[in-house]
Amino acid sequence: MRPIVAITLVYIGLILLANWWWHPVLSVAVVQGQGQVIGALQRNLAENMSYGLPAETAALLRGIMLGEKTEISRDIKDMFSDTGVMHILAVSGLNVGMVAVIFFFIFTRLFRLKRKQASFLLIFVLVIFAQVTGLQASVNRAVVMAIVGLVAVILERDRDMVNSICLAALLLLLSNPRHLFNVGFQLSFAATLGLILFTPKLMEMMKPLGKIVSGSLAVTFGAQLAVTPLIMYYFHKLSIISPLANLAVVPLVGVITGVGFASYFLRLLFAPLGNMVIQLNHYLLVLMIAIVRFFDRFPYAFVYVVTPGALAMALYYGALWWWRTEQRQKYLVYGLAGCFMVNIGVQQLISRPLAVSFIDVGQGDSILVQLPDRQAVLIDGGGSMDPERSVADRRVAPYLWNQGVRIIDTVILTQPHYNHLQGLLVMLDKFKVRQVIIPVLGAAALRQDYMREFLVQVRDKKIYLQEWRGGEMIRFSQELRLESRPGENQCLVTKLVYKDRRFLFTSDGNIPVNGKADVVQVPKHGKDLFDLLPPAEYLVVSSRVAPADERIWSTKRDGNICFTTNGQWLKVRTSK
């Protein structure tokens, strides 16, 4: 093993050990500041490269060139994400490579500098470019790798790609060890390692397709193989159409990047000519959007997936590595796949306890009930007045995926207020739902926009719909049942009974007279919480911070609150 690779792996191991020992936050956004000069240069680049462009293509160009995604519309982001080409909106090695090529050409051909002199000046240019783009992980990795290559040119030494990427990782982690837990850092280095390690073997396999086709496909699949488990883990999506979409879009990004830099310098020299080149980029960007939209319209362009576990990811990367090295390839891959399937089968056969999770959705309610037979019941979905920042997108859906939920067997809407209902619109879109239960509602409630949209979705998806007045019951097994009772303000109060344990979900209704339970959801998000404390071992309140009391748990203070029970013992744990 190369020394620099060994040092990098040892240092990563130390970071993971320290992280496990001291329990810091596992995922941190690495934010870097910018000086006034760098900020002014960034604004100048953005203005001159997108001068006169319509808002949509101007925002997209700034995303590709500078990594600025704040002005890109939600529809465009979703479309790029669903087709697996979202990575082009993060400045990466492609942009760094274009900058290096352009300035190396300027230094060697226009200024007639020698290769060593041009390489020395190019180092400063790349450092400035990294600053202008906000020191993003993908840019830092590419810049450090480029600098290592340029230093090799200056010192007249041979360059090793694996050493270069490991040195880049080591330098970034020495500057800030928490980079290791940044999603962009992980995706960037994984994609680059995929290109280095897997592309040659893939090109060899695809040799009959011709050099150009095999090269393009190998590059796309090499990066895709390396990042797929990470994308599934962090974003809970698997894009089926991604390889084809990348094959069409990535070459176009290279052209747009080159034209973008050319238009900037031309505008500085002769503005009318620069403006003409900018218009060329407009048509290229429109073409890119059309291509992405075309792939996005394919049925099953992407699927939502549950969070893969550590064992599944280890088996995947282990099989991938042994496939590459060809050492006992067939038997080892079969063995790993067999172990993985046995592990999944054993997990399915082992009965697990009942789990009831109160999800932190802010001012609202959302409760996930996971039954011992792996059925899932979702009671309310939280809600937000801003559909662009739906709490279901940010918290409820990821929580379900992390719990391994792909299908929701029963959705229960306890009342039609937006902070119970709005999130369910998202959940119907992202999950397969087998049945929906709603309270009997008056005409005014049924005319509300959210409620109308909800019922339309249920009808269009052909989901079985029930209306409960109170007194109904679902018996999941001889020892497990869900009972309903009417509450005030058109609310549905439900009670889950599992052997000796009882959970009472009150929504915004009053606690029934016979509402004794082990765990009680305090109604109305804790309003008038202490006027009358119900008899319970645990009280759960959303939104409002509860005073210190070992019985009272608050989602605002404690985050997601999960109770597990086998019908006798009862345990509680929290997670942020």
pTM above threshold 0.75: no
Segment of 17-21, 264-268, 329-333 carrying the highest mean pLDDT: 264-268
Beta pairing class for 367-370 and 354-358: antiparallel
Clarify whether residues 544 and 523 are in a common domain. yes
Nearest-angstrom CA–CA distance, 89 and 308: 25
Residue 293's pLDDT is: 92
Both 424 and 471 in one domain: the answer is yes
Instruction: Give the CA count within 13 Å in the CB-facing half-sphere of 116.
Output: 4
For residue 29, being part of any structural domain is answered with no
- How many Å apart are CA 419 and CA 423, to the nearest integer? 8
The answer to whether residue 177 sits within a structural domain is yes
pLDDT band for position 333 (cuts 50, 70, 90): low
**Is the domain of 120 the same as that of 73?**
yes
3-state secondary structure of 370: strand
In this structure, are 112 and 190 located in the same domain? Answer: yes
Residue 156 is classified by DSSP as T
Task: For residue 26, tell me if it sits in a domain.
Answer: no
**Same domain membership, residue 296 and residue 323:** no
In a shared domain, residues 107 and 236? yes
381 and 283 within one domain: no
- The answer to whether position 30 is within a domain reads no
Residue 212 CB coordination number (10 Å): 8
376 versus 170: which is more confidently predicted? Answer: 376
Helix then strand count (H, E) for the chain reads 20, 17
* Tens digit of each residue's pLDDT (9 = 90 or more) over 483-499: 988 766 678 889 999 99
Is residue 320 located within the same domain as residue 274? no
- Whether residues 284 and 400 fall in one domain: no
pLDDT greater than 60 at residue 43: yes
Residue 53 lies in a domain: no
- Residue 285, in any domain of the structure: yes
Boundary of a domain, candidates 241, 272, 304: 304
Say how many domains are in the chain.
3
Could you read off the pLDDT of 191-226 as tens digits, one per residue? Answer: 888 888 888 888 888 888 887 777 777 887 888 888
- Band (pLDDT 50/70/90 cuts) for residue 25 is very low
| Domain annotation covers residue 49 | no
Does residue 535 register a pLDDT over 80?
no
User: Given a cut of 50, is residue 522 above it in pLDDT?
Assistant: yes
Asked if the structure places residue 519 within a domain, the reply is yes
pLDDT band at 104 (very low <50, low <70, confident <90, very high): confident
**180 and 318 together in one domain:** no
Does 341 have pLDDT greater than 70? no
Beta strands at 367-370 and 501-505: parallel, antiparallel or unpaired = unpaired
Q: Is 200 helix (H, G, I), strand (E, B) or coil?
A: helix
Is the pLDDT confidence value at 23 over 60? no
**Binning pLDDT at 50, 70 and 90, where does residue 33 land?**
very low
388 and 324 assigned to the same domain: no
Distance (Å, rounded) from C-alpha 499 to C-alpha 351? 15
Domain, as residue range, for 336: 310-349
Distance CA 455, CA 193 (A): 48
Are residues 142 and 206 both part of a single domain?
yes
| CATH number, residue 390 | 3.60.15.10
21 or 524, higher pLDDT: 524
